[in-house]
Amino acid sequence: MATKRLRDTRNYSENARNSILDRRVTSLFKKVEELSTLCDIEVAIIIFKPGSIQPIAWKSASLAQDVLTSE
């Protein structure tokens, strides 16, 4: 299977880059939700956007904290 060529985002405006990132994050959240459902496991994902102080956590920040601290 051929790999897709990644877009060079340096030439895009900041709004276009944010739009691309938002679409990728949405797609990633969907895939993580499917993985969680299919494997019947708890999954947490934390994403740090460039220039943003607050991370994005999927399902919730408290679940992400619990998954990170569990043994």
Predicted confidence (pLDDT) per residue in 25-70, tens digit? 999 999 999 998 999 988 888 888 888 888 888 877 777 777 677 7
Q: Output the pLDDT for position 28.
A: 92
Long-range CB pairs of 49-54 (<8 Å, 24+ gap) are 49/21
Pick the CATH number of 13-69 from 3.40.50.720, 3.40.1810.10, 3.40.190.10, 3.40.710.10: 3.40.1810.10
Give domain limits for the chain.
13-69
Q: Output the pLDDT for position 54.
A: 84
Residue 1 has pLDDT above 70, yes or no: no
Which residue has better confidence, 1 or 43? Answer: 43
Which residue has better confidence, 17 or 27? Answer: 27
Which residue has better confidence, 61 or 71? Answer: 61
d(CA 49, CA 29): 14
Region at 46 (left for phi over 0; alpha for psi -120 to 50; beta for the rest): beta
